[in-house]
Amino acid sequence: MKTTFRMMKTKHLSLLLAVLAGGFLLSCEEDDGAENALLDAQNEINVVDVTTHDGRPFSTGVEPQSNAKYVGGPGGGVMMQGFYWDVPAGGTWWNTVKNKTTAWANAGIKAIWLPPVSKAQNGPYSMGYDPTDYYDFGNYNQNGTVETRFGSKTELQALITAAHGQSMEVYADIVINHNSGGQSEANQYTGGNTWTDFTGVASGKFPRSQHDFHPNWVHSNDGGSFGGFPDLCHDVPYVQDWLWGRSDAVAKYYKNTMKFDGWRFDYVKGFEPWVVSSWNSAVGGFSVGELWDSDVNYLNWWANNANSSVFDFAAYYKMNDAFDGNNLNKLNDDMMWKRNAYKAVTFVTNHDTDEIYNKMLAYAYILTHEGYPCIFYRDYETWLDKNKLNNLIWIHNQKATGNTSILYTDTDEYLARRNGYGGNPGLIVYINNSNSWLTRWVPTNWNNTQIKDFTGHSGWYPTTQSGGWVEIQCPPKSYSVWSPNI
């Protein structure tokens, strides 16, 4: 739906209105000026409703227990990527993350995404993306180590228990496209030797051989080989049985024994979406796929066929174009959260890619908009202002409700409204990528209501007019988030 109005921009030093004690005190001349400015604004603004669902909060799994630290708000949850590339080796990482669970829960983090937890070919130095034994969590002497890079099985279970004690979920990074660390064997399908003999894995579970990889007796290749690693064939019934079918399958062991609540599937371009759908049907839980592609049609097709969420790479690249390319009009472009907000995981950076420079503007965007936002460990713990991120997390959890209407964009301004849901009033976010304070008249859903900027960046407490219009402001290279002062 689209409604056409007009909107006016004014610089901070030429404000038409002064705000005192939550209201406007104006002379007759000022009343005339404000009325003219409002008429100009109403004739200029272009309100575009970008989503069509009812705006319910996003469900990402089990509900928190009443005695837990994390308490879900009306806006849904926030995910923490609980690692970065080359976290410290030496088996200390699980304890590092465990010691942060209380603080993260208090900040409003709903879930933690962990790196691949099983033993991989590079042993104590591996980040886990070269898996050897899916059932070795740091409890077998294999590939030159007992512990994984991150720690022992006991420490991993203690981390999961600690997170659950804070009513947070824990998501496992699942690498099922390729394997590594097998022994060499004569391969009847290639006529040479391949590193496809995994019959001697220390756990004794899911032994694999040349028949379970491409090429094999099913077909020669699935087009999803990665880095020269042996490419697992999901069309083999034996592979399906060990991944999700049998009672001690990988999926069921991770869910029922290790107590994981959900899954991040690595490199899903390497296999068909029915694989993820079958896994999810077998064990449930939250699910998100790493489909590294900016094509929204492809992202949406995959999410629907996989019965899974997907990382919103379309939004990622558009945010880079908008905030670093100095053209916030790019935020009008199509993104996964606009197509299917309930299956979109939005993010600003991750362990693989870190292109956006103006990160706080990007976090202000994803934490006020629809989708399931994911925060990167190093952004939160090291690189950015944790207090500002915590403020945005609170805003997301408490205020970011309802579907979205884009109110205005130009090269350096973006304003959008979350329309509220279930009695929650929603919000208006104002992002300013210019070097000056800016103000705008905007249409709200709140009549004769005092509002405030919940970021604290503005000291204004304006009252909306009887028709819902109000003037708000935003500092340079920053953002403000407005909602009723309740």
* pLDDT tens-digit readout, 438-474: 999 999 999 999 999 999 999 999 999 999 999 999 9
Q: Is residue 60 a part of any domain in this protein?
A: no
Q: Can you name the residues that pair with 19 across neighbouring β-strands?
A: 24
Look at residue 478 in the predicted model and tell me its pLDDT: 98
Domain boundary among 363, 383, 399: 399
Are residues 317 and 239 part of one domain?
Answer: yes
Ranking 207-211, 224-228, 357-361 by mean pLDDT, the lowest is 224-228
3-state secondary structure of 11: strand
Across the range 379-398, mean pLDDT stands at 98
For residue 20, the enclosing domain spans 2-54+404-484
pLDDT at 260 over 60: yes
Are 369 and 230 in the same domain? yes
* Residue 74 forms part of a structural domain: no
Q: Answer with the residue of higher pLDDT: 40 or 343.
A: 343
CA 94/CA 153 separation, integer angstroms: 9
pLDDT tier at 41 (50, 70, 90 boundaries)?
low
Segment 232-244 mean pLDDT: 97
**CATH code, 443:** 2.60.40.1180
Angle at CA of residue 282, ends 70 and 293, nearest 5°: 75
Residue 370 lies in a domain: yes
241/306 same-domain check: yes
Whole-number pLDDT of residue 5:
32
Quick one: 290 and 147 in the same domain?
yes
Tokens representing residue 454 in the block? 């919940």
Alpha helices in 313-419 (DSSP H): 313-319, 336-339, 359-366, 377-378, 386-399
**Does pLDDT of 397 surpass 60?**
yes
- Domain stop point among 353, 382, 399: 399
Final residue belonging to a domain, choices 364, 399, 434: 399
| pLDDT of residue 219 exceeding 70 | yes
The three-class DSSP label of residue 6 is coil
Q: What's the confidence (pLDDT) of residue 228?
A: 76
Q: Is the pLDDT of residue 57 over 80?
A: no
How large a percentage of the chain has pLDDT more than 70?
A: 86
- Please determine, for residue 102, whether its predicted confidence score (pLDDT) is greater than 50: yes
pTM above 0.85, yes or no: yes
Verify that 388 and 412 share a domain, yes or no: no
**pLDDT value at 392 more than 50:** yes
Mean pLDDT of the chain: 90
pLDDT for position 13 = 32
130 and 200 fall within a common domain: yes
Q: Is the predicted pLDDT of residue 405 greater than 70, yes or no?
A: yes
* Domain containing residue 374: CATH number: 3.20.20.80
- Domain match, 382 and 419 both: no
Distance CA(292)–CA(281), nearest Å, equals 24
Could you tell me where the beta strands, DSSP code E, fall in 89-246? 111-113, 119-120, 131-133, 169-174, 183-186, 193-197, 213-214, 231-232
Are 385 and 417 within one domain?
Answer: no
* 59: in domain: no
pLDDT of residue 44: 67
Integer Cα distance of 46 and 298 in angstroms:
29
Q: Which residue do the tokens 């020669």 mark?
A: 220
Position 125 in a domain: yes
Question: Is 70 inside a domain boundary?
Answer: no
Give 121-153 pLDDT, tens digit per residue.
999 999 999 999 999 999 999 999 999 999 999
Model confidence at 103: pLDDT above 80: yes
Nearest to 442 by CA among 9, 2, 51: 9
Q: What is the pLDDT confidence band of residue 398, given thresholds at 50, 70 and 90?
A: very high
Do 31 and 105 lie in one domain? The reply is no
Min mean pLDDT across 3-7, 120-124, 204-208, 412-416 is at 3-7
153-157, 224-228, 298-302 — which is least confidently predicted?
224-228
Residue 476 belongs to some domain of the structure: yes
Query: For the ranges 94-103, 221-230, 389-398, which has the lowest average pLDDT?
Result: 221-230
Phi and psi of 2, rounded to 5°?
-140, 130
Are residues 372 and 422 part of one domain?
A: no
Structural domain total, the chain: 2
Say if 66 falls within a structural domain.
Answer: no
Write down the pLDDT at residue 34. Answer: 61
Residues 390 and 414 in one domain: no
Q: Are 318 and 406 in contact (CB under 8 A)?
A: no
What's the CA gap between 390 and 111, in Å, rounded?
15
For residues 104 and 170, state if they share a domain.
yes
Tokens of 451: 């509002």
pLDDT tens for 58-81 read: 433 334 344 448 988 999 899 999
The yes-or-no verdict on residue 368 having pLDDT over 70 is yes
Whole-angstrom Cα Rg for the chain = 25
